[in-house]
Amino acid sequence: MSKNISAVKKNQISLRNKYRNKSYKSAIKTLTKKYMLSLDNVLSVNQSDDHLLQLSAIYKKIDKAVSKGVLHKNNGSRKKSILAKAMKNFISQDISTI
């Protein structure tokens, strides 16, 4: 490791950003997994409001990560698209079973 002050500081900043970025990504992955599992486990349309609230919370996290530069804009859009598609499939399954 360099003893140059600017190199030391740059290393500290990169470590700080790495941990911050990891927490954003981890939160998004955790919320996404919980959301997908809740869609698989529930078979009634009555809880679709709860699913919409979960979906909006995940969207908020993804948008925040994109605005902070943790995720690329297209990556965030792709994640949101996958979630919306899962929600659409969930709703169409419920309607077809009724």
Q: Residue type at 75?
A: N
pTM over the 0.85 mark: no
Contacts of 57 (CB under 8 A, 6+ apart): 31
Of all residues in the chain, the percent with pLDDT exceeding 70 is 88
Taking 70 as the pLDDT cut, the residues of the chain under it are: 1, 42-47, 94-98
* CA–CA gap between residue 39 and residue 30 (Å, rounded): 14
Q: Which of 10, 28, 8 is nearest to 68 (CA)?
A: 28
- Contact in structure between 70 and 24 (CB atoms under 8 Å): yes
Q: How confident is the model at residue 90, as a pLDDT?
A: 84
What's the DSSP call for residue 69? T
